[in-house]
A and B are shown apart, each in its own frame.
Chain A
Amino acid sequence: MLELKSLHDRFGYDLTESSFRDNRRIVVPSEKVYYVLEHLWRECGFDMLVEMTAADYLEYPGATDRFGVMYVLLNTTSGERLIVKTHLNLPELELPSVYPLWHSADWMEREVYDMFGITFAGHPDLRRILMPEEFTAYPLRKDYPLKGRGERHNFPVITRAES
């Protein structure tokens, strides 16, 4: 079991811990998140990045930051799980890529970029993954409507004569 104190000693006291049901979360400032993750990977045996995602807290009651990025880590030897969470705000939506640590981050970071517009510095191939490359909006942001902004109607259609 990871002791929060060891992280406090190393990275300062602005790391906070909370838990809900069996989930254990550590909230880390965005400028430190890569160093904390690298430490967890190197020293604490968290060898699998099970899941990485983001959420837009625009309409969330009591939220102070716009975006949250979550890394669900797993120690495959001991079975311990840990969620590392960090917050981001417009306009500086950039985090260091964790691809060098866990290769599973490759597509997950691309998806977060595709859906929320958060970029990852150092990612080998940061392109849209699910949406078409011509798409300009970030569909999972809360200010993007469910029905879209007319992209479907205005999508360029190639007719047989033009092809």
Chain B
Amino acid sequence: MPLTLADTLPTDTDEREYLWTLNFGPQHPATHTTLRLVLTLDGERVVDAVPHIGYLHSGFEKLGEHLDFNQYVTIVDRMNYVSPVANEIAWHHAVEKLLGVELTPRCKYLRTILAELMRLHDHLLNVGTAALDLGAFTAFLYGFQQRENIYDIIEYASGQRFHASYTRVGGVLFDVNNAWVEKVRKFIKEMPPTIDEIDKLLTRNRIFIDRTKGIGVLNKVDAINYGATGPIARASGVVRDLRKDEPYLAYGDLDFKVVCSEGGDCYARYLLRMREMAESLKIIEQALENIPGGPVNVDPGTDLVLPAKPAVYRSIEGLIQHFEVLMPNRGFDVPCEELYAATESPNGELGFYIVADGNVRAYRARTRPPSFIHFAMLPHMIRGYQLSDLVAILGSINIIAAELDR
């Protein structure tokens, strides 16, 4: 059939008709977990992005109202499963602040070591996957090898590799011994070469730099306005780290630097995480060499922690104390108050807003999840960049969907 000219040329009824829509996720390898973006594209340029979340919503905050302060720790460490113990520390930090408990020096140092191990745990995965999404597989494997060693350390202390549920109100589940200290010491020695290896693979890698430098730029004003915290805010020039600004645990005694950058792009966030790992190692080393002796839990007489098992089995006082903690109408002495308390988790400010009604369980246990706040910024960060930059930005802001949706 011969081609004939149409009488009238088709006109664009809507000037945005040439844009097309792409559904990204919820099951796309580069989203890592179940999150979904509906992208509006002009060619390969992203005009707009609408995130849809809630695929992993499991009602953690509702459960928090039905489980007591010690039971809820098992739920809390399933939020950010890349750094589980950091969540537990944040949760019990808030609970202990509510109850007015002063931890023993040994527990403070122990928790500091664990919190920093978790920072390494998180950053190793994040740096690895950020590179993995851009096509560099090896850094991820180097990172995972060291993560395996951290799993071993956590397992040695708590009996669980992953979801340790290690902290308790007023202390931790088990004390650690010298063999554990040796294990951590060995890990600190082995860790710097891994950081160097990743550094050699990525920092001056032409492809990696091209894919991350100048991508996903977040300036300082926007970072503050959008509520960014942690590495993302610090990479944008917000000089803020709760470990320095509001020292908790043993951070006040230790010497470390807050790493900041002014780049605000994916590359700055990558570099910042690499430097933070070096600082974390410094903190662990100092805390490990200065870990005080003495009990790890607060005095059992305060009815906060369970007494030692030999005391429970062999003395009536120990048995009574054990019951005092566990009986439903006894337990903690909780004030009728509410408070917000936050710690610097690897991903940013992880806070808990607890409303207590005098009961042994929280009346309202709200989590301030850093992933949730950071994912809300994504449309702002991605606008104007190419579709392929999306994975670089997603990788650099470290979204953990279980924490995002809770």
Chain A residues within CB distance 8 Å of chain B: 20-23, 47-51, 53, 55-56, 59-62, 70, 72, 76, 79, 81, 83, 102-104, 106-108, 111, 115, 128-132, 139-140, 146
Count of A-B residue pairs with CB < 8 Å: 101
A74 to chain B, nearest CB (A): 9
Task: State whether A130 touches B53 (Cβ < 8 A).
Answer: yes
Task: State whether A21 touches B226 (Cβ < 8 A).
Answer: no
A106–B351 Cα distance when bound, in Å, is 18
Task: State whether B358 touches A107 (Cβ < 8 A).
Answer: no
A-B contact list, 10 entries, CB within 8 Å: A20-B335, A20-B338, A50-B342, A53-B368, A55-B363, A59-B363, A62-B336, A103-B226, A104-B226, A106-B376
Closest 7 pairs between A and B when the two form their complex, measured CB to CB = A104-B227, A107-B376, A130-B54, A55-B364, A130-B57, A51-B368, A53-B366
Chain B residues within CB distance 8 Å of chain A: 53-54, 57, 59, 61-63, 65-66, 97-98, 100, 222, 224-227, 229, 238, 240, 245-246, 335-342, 349, 351, 353, 355, 357-358, 363-364, 366, 368, 372-373, 375-376, 380, 405-406
Chain A residues closer than 8 Å to B240, beta-carbon distance: 76, 79
Task: State whether A140 touches B53 (Cβ < 8 A).
Answer: no
Q: SS class of chain B's interface: helix, strand, loop or mixed?
A: mixed
A130–B371 Cα distance when bound, in Å, is 14
**Contact A61-B357, Cβ < 8 Å, known A130-B57, A130-B405:** yes
Q: Which chain B residue lies CB-closest to A101?
A: B225
Chain B residues closer than 8 Å to A49, beta-carbon distance: 227
Task: State whether B338 touches A47 (Cβ < 8 A).
Answer: no
**Contact A104-B54, Cβ < 8 Å, known A20-B337, A21-B100:** no
Q: Which chain A residue lies CB-closest to B366?
A: A53
**Contact A140-B61, Cβ < 8 Å, known A61-B357, A72-B353, A146-B66:** yes
Task: State whether B363 touches A60 (Cβ < 8 A).
Answer: yes
Task: State whether A104 touches B62 (Cβ < 8 A).
Answer: no
A140–B61 Cα distance when bound, in Å, is 8
Q: Which chain B residue lies CB-closest to A51?
A: B368
B240 to chain A, nearest CB (A): 6
